[in-house]
Structure 1
Amino acid sequence: MRLLRAESMRFWARTLIRWAMVAGLVVAGLVVLGSWTTSTPPPDEVQASMQADFDASVKDWEDNGETYVADCLAAEKADAEELGEPLDYECDEMGPPVWADYAYFATFAGEGLSTVQLSLLLVALLTLGVGVTFVSAEHTSGAIGNWLTFEPRRSRVYWSKVVAAVLGVVPVTVVMVGLIAGGSLWAYDHHGALGRFDLDQDLRPYLEMWARSAALALGLAASGAALGSLLRHTAIVIGVVAGWAILVEAVAANVFDAIKPWTLVTSMNAWIQGGTAVYVTECDATDDSGMLCDWVEHPVSQTQGGLILTAVVVALVLVSWLVFRRRDVA
């Protein structure tokens, strides 16, 4: 415990880490401010204009709706006869105007929730960076060698650093996640703009998303500490992470559809959102020896995302530990 307390003090002694925490809190505040601004209803004159346009469209449909449907059916029939094949212009789906098509108001169920989910992912990435800089700085400066002089048991040193990184980000993670998720929900609720988000039915899943986001942040903090120890330089870690993001998450995932459901970005989205979906291309041979391709939705469950992320975190931490036990730190 004394070693862990010492590592925790070293964690908070780093100026860069403290500034990163402050920056994260500022960004969280800006997210809430953005939610407040976005959810604010438009001025009365704008709403009046929307209402006037909607009323005019309703009257036009009442006067000419049957004619519009008849014209659509006639065009469908004429074009089908000309082409010699059946057509469907979806004339039966024509109907009176819908208010939502004329009055655009941002809602929490629409814009707000997606913004919160993206912001929570950024919180997790911040903790990754904090974990990296905490451990890699000691390797870069050579302080880790001096530290091992006083405490030669490498496993204890390594695990104390990983745990200190995780515990160190707990307070700011809780505050940031609570501020972003709670503040944004409050802003939209204050303006009566929750949309289809029902507080009675959807609040519990939303709170569970908070908890999963915090857990992801702590896991990435441990991964950051492991990467910092393994690669020993923050710049190298940034290069490796950026290279992975570009080559695997962006390029390879778009070239090879089969890996889309298994990427880290997809897994993080599935974990935070409680499940997600990716679209892959599936092709079948046609009678003319050609290929007919279509976009197919592939669901990715929260469980799958969580298992993949857990496996990656555990693998990184264990590999880094094994390397640290045997590598020359000089």
Structure 2
Amino acid sequence: MISLVGVELTRYRARRAIALLLLLAALLAAFIAFKSAWDTRPPSKLEIATAKAAAEHEANRSDIRADMATCLKNPEDYLGTGATQQECRDQLAAASASYLPRQELDLTGTLKGNGLGLAILVIGLIIIAASTFAGSDWASGSIANQLLFESRRSKVWAAKAISVTLASGLAAVVVLGGFWLTMYLVAADRDVPHGSAVVNDIAWHVVRAVVLAMAAGLGAYALTMLFRHSVATLAVLFAYAIGGELVVELLPIDDIGRWSVGNNVFGWLETRLEINGCSSLVPGCTQTHISHLDSGLYLLVLLLVAVAASFLAFRRQDV
């Protein structure tokens, strides 16, 4: 089995289409890291001076000064019970930071924005790579030749599945790990606060993303071995992504969003996900929390169904 897995890993690595897809994933990660760092670069001296001048000009407006005087005279009447004069200054005095042209780097914001988007993109490319790897054997007819050298179909299927899963996980570790290492170094260089809680959230996000990438690669491989065409697999996934999610949201069933594949993917990747707890056709929607455990179990069941169907079909159907 180990030798077969090694052969399949070599074949996976040798596929030009797969190499290009993984290279694209790395380039996307590099571009998003550069854009995230550039869009949050520290302000220049000129920008800081301009922001201070704008804040001073705003503070000297007659209406602002009148409001400030009224608030300082009686903060509770102006802002509510318990208000203080310092709160008057904080809320009514224009801070120069609010006039800066961009926000400073925030790793938590990056995690919820570009980081989550990158994880989805990388997993999507891994799905295409896994499907291409399995589909090429059927398209070229080489699967029949492979079974001449190893007649035990279960062993051939398993070796391919293990190699795809390992390769998918390694690709995700390199690309996503490289992205977050870059962002962490940028934050450290700029003395941006990044406490243990933020680092912990990022680390667990990367772990969950890698696990999902491995599962997605295995699932795409299983479906392609079942359909025997990578185009069929990608078409089914694309059709669901476009129409399936819409149909699910339109069903007049309470808490239907909980069973959406897309919501469970985001529920697995995000630190915490809140969704509408009912269909768009049902009034009075409430927020529902999808935990990582719930999302993981839901996606695991789908993966096991796909793997079982693919494995049984490959053992019984003619090649």
Structures share fold, TM-score greater than 0.5: yes
Distance in 2 (CA, whole Å) between partners of 1:211 and 1:66 is 50
Partner of 1:158: 157
TM-score, with structure 2 as normaliser:
0.83
Distance in 1 (CA, whole Å) between partners of 2:119 and 2:291 is 18
Partner of 2:15: 14
Change in CA separation of 1:219 and 1:292 when aligned onto 2, cut-off 3 Å: closer
1:307 is displaced (CA, Å) by 1.0
Distance in 2 (CA, whole Å) between partners of 1:97 and 1:276 is 35
1:295 is displaced (CA, Å) by 4.7
Change in CA separation of 1:98 and 1:300 when aligned onto 2, cut-off 3 Å: farther
Partner of 2:106: 108
Write the letter of the residue equivalent to 1:301. Answer: S
Partner of 2:190: 191
Change in CA separation of 1:251 and 1:64 when aligned onto 2, cut-off 3 Å: farther
* Unmatched runs of 5 consecutive residues or more in structure 1: 70-89, 284-290
SS in structure 1 opposite 2:169? helix
Partner of 1:316: 306
Change in CA separation of 1:45 and 1:282 when aligned onto 2, cut-off 3 Å: same
Distance in 1 (CA, whole Å) between partners of 2:70 and 2:249 is 45
Distance in 2 (CA, whole Å) between partners of 1:300 and 1:122 is 22
1:66 is displaced (CA, Å) by 5.8
Say yes or no: does 1:306 pair with 2:296: yes
Q: Could you tell which deviates more after superposition, 151-160 or 5-14?
A: 5-14
Partner of 1:81: none
Q: Could you tell which deviates more after superposition, 116-125 or 46-55?
A: 46-55
Q: Could you tell which deviates more after superposition, 58-67 or 124-133?
A: 58-67
SS in structure 2 opposite 1:277? strand
Distance in 2 (CA, whole Å) between partners of 1:251 and 1:299 is 21
Partner of 2:49: 48
1:276 is displaced (CA, Å) by 0.6
Q: 2:218 aligns with which of 217, 222, 238?
A: 222
How many residues are paired up? 299
Distance in 1 (CA, whole Å) between partners of 2:279 and 2:240 is 26
Distance in 2 (CA, whole Å) between partners of 1:224 and 1:192 is 42
Superposed CA offset, 1:148-207 (max 9, x none)? 12212111111111001112233322110111122123224433455xxx3233212221
Write the letter of the residue equivalent to 2:312. Answer: L
Alignment of 1:275-294 (within 5 A): 275-280=272-277, 293-294=283-284
Say yes or no: does 1:266 pair with 2:263: yes
Say yes or no: does 1:147 pair with 2:146: yes
Distance in 1 (CA, whole Å) between partners of 2:38 and 2:180 is 16
* Unmatched runs of 5 consecutive residues or more in structure 2: 72-77
Q: CA RMSD of the aligned region, Å?
A: 2.8
Write the letter of the residue equivalent to 1:243. Answer: A
Contact 1:35/1:188 (CA < 8 Å) preserved in 2?
A: no
Change in CA separation of 1:59 and 1:303 when aligned onto 2, cut-off 3 Å: farther
Partner of 1:286: none
Partner of 1:65: 67
Contact 2:172/2:209 (CA < 8 Å) preserved in 1?
A: no
